[in-house]
């Protein structure tokens, strides 16, 4: 175990960047030595994010001035296309990289380019990248140089389906996920669709023909199942700031199984997953600010359809918290270090 790890954050002005800083401020093994932003170069971090006043004594710097090559680990909290440009040089310098964007989540660069409409400039790294979902790939994360931190929708959906696919209890060709996200999932940039007057008192579906997270989810669930998984995924925008609630549907291949016991056994000892008592309905407010996925499994009317309810905070277990959880595994810390915050109520 390391005593102190020098950390840099690239792209520190978005919601995931400030969330990383919030969580790391209580981590006894981390020294955040640089945080980058070209637009806010020279501004104190706590001037932009006053919640960090007294906890973070840094100013934003341009990436080329940040000394990232002298860090032990660098987090990318950037739009897609940024991490793939810088990761090769950092890895060559011995820096371990955790990317919160989508740059390394898909193993097929051609498929990545199709969904993100951007040339992938580091396809040679895709063979070694480790997908950073601890509940599925903990041992690979431990020795990884490059971790692709999962997306928020993929996290909520995969954690709900994994026990069923591992046990071979559902048909992998007809999975359905209907999931709703808070507005912070769209990022911090100015956008008319995200204004309070556009979002409040309303709810809508979007990207029904195909969301960019779909190939990521299918790729990872297929790895779990050992065969091709097909998912119908409909995301929604909900009138809330944080949170994802996913309702998952699948057809059972047998009804002679205790689904509650299956989920409790699969996630026993997992610090970031809470399988709720039978009959429960997890709420997004019960995970707000916490690195936790709450799950409930149902079999309505005892028929052959299983329904899993999954709730996470999209900025924590769906982004920054999950990244810190993977970082802890990589550097030999207790997996929950810096992540023991209780969810906020009301």
Catalytic positions are 152
- Residue 341 in tokens: 């915050």
Listed in sequence order, the residues at least 6 apart from 338 whose beta carbon sits closer than 8 Å to its beta carbon are 23, 24, 26, 27, 30, 324, 328
- Residue 143 in tokens: 């020795």
Sheet order of strands, 175-181 included:
204-205, 231-237, 175-181, 244-251, 305-312, 293-298, 273-275
CA dihedral 154, 160, 162, 166 (to 10 degrees): -160
Place of tokens 């309505």: 300
Cα 52 to its chain centre, rounded Å, is 22
φ, ψ of residue 18 to 5 degrees: the values are: -70, -30
User: Rounded to whole angstroms, how far apart are CA atoms 34 and 7?
Assistant: 7
User: Rounded to whole angstroms, how far apart are CA atoms 37 and 35?
Assistant: 7
Summary count for the chain: helices (H), strands (E):
10, 13
- Residue 122 in tokens: 């580091």
Contact 17, 9 (CB under 8 A): yes
């Amino acid at each position: 175990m390391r005593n102190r790890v020098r950390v840099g954050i690239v792209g520190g002005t978005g919601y995931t960047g400030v969330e990383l800083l919030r969580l790391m401020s209580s981590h006894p093994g981390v020294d955040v030595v640089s945080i980058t932003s070209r637009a806010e170069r020279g501004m104190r971090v706590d001037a932009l994010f006053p919640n960090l006043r007294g906890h973070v004594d840094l100013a934003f710097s341009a990436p080329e001035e940040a000394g990232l090559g002298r860090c032990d680990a660098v987090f990318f909290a950037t739009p897609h296309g940024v991490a793939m440009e810088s990761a090769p040089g950092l890895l060559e310098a011995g820096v371990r990289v955790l990317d919160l964007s989508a740059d390394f989540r898909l193993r097929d660069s051609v498929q990545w380019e199709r969904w993100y409409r951007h040339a992938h400039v580091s396809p040679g790294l895709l063979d070694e990248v480790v997908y950073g979902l601890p509940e599925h790939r903990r041992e690979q994360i431990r020795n990884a140089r490059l971790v692709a931190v999962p997306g928020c929708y993929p996290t909520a959906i995969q954690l709900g389906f994994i026990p069923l696919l591992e046990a071979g209890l559902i048909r992998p060709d007809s999975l359905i996920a209907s999931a709703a996200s808070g507005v912070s999932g769209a990022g911090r940039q100015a956008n008319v669709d995200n204004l309070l007057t556009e979002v409040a008192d309303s709810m809508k579906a979007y990207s029904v023909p195909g969301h960019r997270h779909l190939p990521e989810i299918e790729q990872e669930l297929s790895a779990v199942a050992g065969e091709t998984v097909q998912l119908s995924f409909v995301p929604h925008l909900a009138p809330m700031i944080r949170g994802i609630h996913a309702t998952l549907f699948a057809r059972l291949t047998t009804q002679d199984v205790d689904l509650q016991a299956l989920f409790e056994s699969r996630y026993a000892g997992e610090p970031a997953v809470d399988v709720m008592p039978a009959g429960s309905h997890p709420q997004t407010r019960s995970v707000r600010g916490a690195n936790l996925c709450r799950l409930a499994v149902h079999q309505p009317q005892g028929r052959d359809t299983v329904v899993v309810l999954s709730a996470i905070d999209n900025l924590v277990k769906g982004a920054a918290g999950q990244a810190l959880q993977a970082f802890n595994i990589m550097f030999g810390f207790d997996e929950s270090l810096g992540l023991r915050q209780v969810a906020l109520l009301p």
